[in-house]
Chains A and B, each alone.
Chain A
Amino acid sequence: MNQLPVFVRKEFHHILRDPWTMMMLLALPILMLVLFGFAITTEVKNAHIAIYDPSNDEATRAISARLGVSEYFSVVAELRTPEEIDSIFRYGDVSMVVVFSDGFYGNLVRTGDAQVLLVADGTDPNTASTLVNYATVIIASYQQELTPLGAVPFRIHSEVKLLYNPHMTGAYNFVPGVMGMVLMLICAMMTSISIAREKEKGTMEILLVSPMKPIIIILAKSIPYFVLSVVNLATILIMSVFLLHVPIAGSLPALVVVSLVFIFVSLALGLLISSAVETQVVALLISGMALMMPVILLSGMMFPVENMPQPLQWLSRILPASWYITAVRKIMIKGLGLVSVLKELSVLVGMALALIVVSLKRFRIRLE
């Protein structure tokens, strides 16, 4: 009864002869291992912090030195006034500010107590608590050293303040990420599938042999998804504000402008994909695997990019979604305006233009 081995052999033939299947089976696990191994780390290294030290005494300098030396932190600024704390969070790139009280060492020696205030960016509660913990440990070890044996221990109290997300709601972090993902999904994936479908069913042939200009076909394919995306954008924002209580701290018009540009980028990406594929299945695979996976892992929506190895950080910068999510965070969570996201905006506009030009050029007016 050699039916079974014969049939099994046939199945192997099918698998081995289909390049897409082979890629999924062999390349994908390797890719995932690498990405998850390196990209996904909840450890924090070289987090950017700033220090406001009005005392500038022996103790504060010692603590600051230890923080600076620690592999977890990288002191990027020393603040001069308390006002700078707020602005460095908003416009700078720090995750935490260490605020010493005035006359720190003096207080410590005289009363046995001194205060340190740790102000952390609460947008990502996990990172925030990790940073706070590290800092607290470092401060505690200094405190330990300072106390001579047998004497009443000095106590350095660390107080923690979380900006932007006082209740440590996870939603603050993922809403911008979801926005980026959903918009990219709808625009890129659906547009590419729609055009691929015309090719697959053969209706594209008839459209080509007609006076209809390619640009009209492209526009007609993009406009419905553009409209749908705007509707989705509105829905997500309304739900975040009213259901999840994630406020839009910054300017709504700015948010809308940035989102519209991102939608254009995603549409253009969808067009580009469709110009390279012939069937819907392949369009789905590419926009699903090749787009969504990197976006989820590398755009910063779930895992902080700063902690990833350099090559992955560069990759993150190629993704339009990374720029968009950063911009949305600045506007929604930090309450900034259009001016502060100019960098992200111009990158996105540049990407949109480049992609649109390339897809138009690639749109084939003939079958070959």
Chain B
Amino acid sequence: MSVITAENLTKRFGHFVAVDSVSFQVGPGEIFGFLGANGAGKTTAMRMLCGLSKPSGGKGTVAGFDIERKPEKVKASIGYMSQKFALYEDLTVRENIRLYAGIYGVPGKLIGPRTDALLRRLGFQKEKDTFVKALPLGWKQKLAFSVAIFHDPKVVFLDEPTGGVDPAARRQFWELIYEAAHGGITVFVTTHYMDEAEYCDRVSIMVDGKIEALDSPQNLKARFGSESMDQVFRQLARKAMREVD
């Protein structure tokens, strides 16, 4: 039973076709990497799946809900972490957790124990009353991810979550993703760090709005005779016509 389905999903802005008839399916507990250069259409596609943008054509479902007809239900069933983390800098760690828990309708009784469990898992017990702006970047990111899945969604969408973060922190972040996926949450992540593609179960590579490749990193490397996803991407990117801007 697929958690995410896309069937010829298209998005047009005037004459410009940002997303050109993409199709794929993602199963439960899968880590699905959505790769591509900037401007290839990744973010636009993701927004459609999150119910943030109306498709110009094609269909899609997330957690069983049609993205065009029931976007509100989609939003309530997913977790979302944007590029800029979306944590309130002038609130404490605990206040942020409480806020998002409230927004996503986590029952009041559960908030306390779940918060404690989260803080323990991240090792943040001492920081629970620290303002988020005082946390190092890597910690903010881990917190933002944990907050995004606090309400146990079926799917979590991550939009370039590791931008600007150093490799050590990125590794820890991916371990969190592993854990979430192991717990049954489907993780849909966009990134332009090709080495992170290796962490995924399957990846799709978008070029000029179309999906040019969709498979596990291993298979892709074998198919293109490359040693790294970086090389696979560069071979595909050479065909790109859009300016990498």
Contacts and interface: CB of A to CB of B under 8 A. Distances in A.
B183 interface: no
A281 to B, nearest CB: 15
Interface string A4-38: 01110110011001100000000000000000000
Nearest to B106: A2
Contacts of B99: 6-7, 9-10
A152 interface: no
Given A13-B90, A17-B90, A1 B95 contact: no
B103 A3 contact: yes
23 contacts: A1-B105, A2-B105, A2-B108, A3-B102, A3-B103, A3-B105, A5-B102, A6-B98, A6-B99, A6-B102, A7-B102, A9-B99, A10-B88, A10-B91, A10-B95, A10-B99, A13-B88, A13-B90, A13-B91, A13-B95, A14-B88, A17-B90, A18-B90
Contacts of B91: 10, 13
Nearest to A4: B102
A13 B90 CA distance: 8
Q: Is the interface of B mostly helix, strand, loop or mixed?
A: helix
Name the interface size band of chain A: 10 to 19
A17 B131 CA distance: 11
A interface majority secondary structure? helix
Interface string B1-20: 00000000000000000000
Interface string B82-112: 0000001011000100110011010010000
B91 to A, nearest CB: 6
A1 B76 CA distance: 13
Nearest to A14: B90
Interface string A54-80: 000000000000000000000000000
Contacts of A17: 90
Contacts of A9: 99
Nearest to A17: B90
A7 to B, nearest CB: 7
A47 to B, nearest CB: 53
Contacts of B102: 2-3, 5-7
